[in-house]
Chain A
């Protein structure tokens, strides 16, 4: 959809038009859901979280001034909401934040569980899933956001709440770690 149409939808939603806002949800739901899935380790509550994000965005839409893109603004709200969800989980399970982040391995398991075998043709997705398990949760998260959800650097910056240099640095280290894991596993397989 051209940018101008999105702008019209935003203005219309700001004046209380539900249908215009539903069209905005239609436009952005795939990426916002994917984003929540990446941050919440592909658990069942990721879609609930995405829905809350759209509701919060609707309530605050009059504060959207268009300085950043609408999608970046949604990612920011989503990142904050997912942080809250993780904090809540942490309180409920009397688990530590670090332990939860480390449990990101679940994310990989969930990816494997939902995998469509049709996608597997020609490339070794299984090897990638194994390689992803070898890197830290932070690295896995940025890799999935970038490579699976397709976030740009500026979107990653907003979503992860860090500087552009930090995004570049973390992504570079994550890729190096993944390449190392990948190579290690490939060598093992070929033996």
Chain B
């Protein structure tokens, strides 16, 4: 039964009638509410009233299919400059047996860079940022209008 609605107060049951109405309840919980409706004229009346109103909603105009819209959108998409595909490593580079080789190589390059610069102490940050351009420009260069869309930021 999960939520044990059979023991819940009437207000909670009434609140959940909306979920029943919207088919947003799992089957088992739906059964509990349907059982309640059988014996409760108040709730039955509420559900019947909403069913009547909902029937009226179906009389309102729905958005229709539009081939013109699809065609126009497709034309605009075709006119866009070629999109760059997502960057992926070649499959052979992703094989696990290459990981130690890359790790060792990267560490060697970083240590060499540090020695060339004459620094005695090697911090993690130095190792990670070695060879990168100015931190700020490197970090923010990836931000573009498209990522703004997905972050919900204005795109202008």
List chain A positions with a Cβ less than 8 A from chain B: 14-16, 18, 21-22, 25-26, 29-31, 33-34, 37, 47, 50-51, 54-56, 58-60, 62-63, 76-77, 80-81, 84, 87, 111, 114-116, 119-120, 123-125, 127-129, 131, 143, 146-149, 152-153, 161, 168, 171-172, 175, 178-179, 182
Contact = CB atoms under 8 A, between A and B. Distances in A.
Please tell me the size bucket of the interface on B: 35 or more
B147 interface: yes
Nearest to A153: B24
A55 B73 contact: yes
B59 interface: yes
A18 B61 contact: no
Contacts of A14: 85-86
Nearest to A125: B59
24 contacts: A14-B85, A22-B73, A30-B63, A47-B69, A56-B149, A56-B155, A58-B80, A59-B149, A60-B149, A62-B83, A62-B86, A111-B61, A119-B59, A123-B56, A123-B58, A123-B59, A125-B56, A128-B56, A128-B60, A131-B53, A152-B24, A168-B18, A172-B15, A175-B18
A153 B22 contact: yes
Contacts of B78: 18
A147 B54 contact: yes
Contact of B73 (A25, A59, A143, A161): A25
Contact of A29 (B54, B57, B58, B66): B66
Q: Which 6 A-B residue pairs are closest in the complex by CB-CB distance?
A: A34-B63, A125-B59, A147-B57, A62-B86, A128-B56, A22-B74
Contacts of B61: 111, 114-116, 119
Contact of A55 (B64, B80, B150): B80
Interface of B: 15, 18-19, 22, 24, 49-50, 53-66, 69-70, 72-74, 76-78, 80, 82-83, 85-86, 145-147, 149-150, 152, 154-156
A38 to B, nearest CB: 9
A81 B74 CA distance: 19
Contacts of B54: 147
Contact of A168 (B19, B50, B65, B150): B19
Nearest to B68: A47
Given A147-B60, A148-B60, 9 more contacts: A51-B69, A51-B73, A56-B155, A59-B80, A60-B150, A80-B152, A115-B60, A148-B62, A171-B22
Contacts of A120: 59
A80 B82 CA distance: 25
Nearest to A116: B61
A116 B63 CA distance: 12
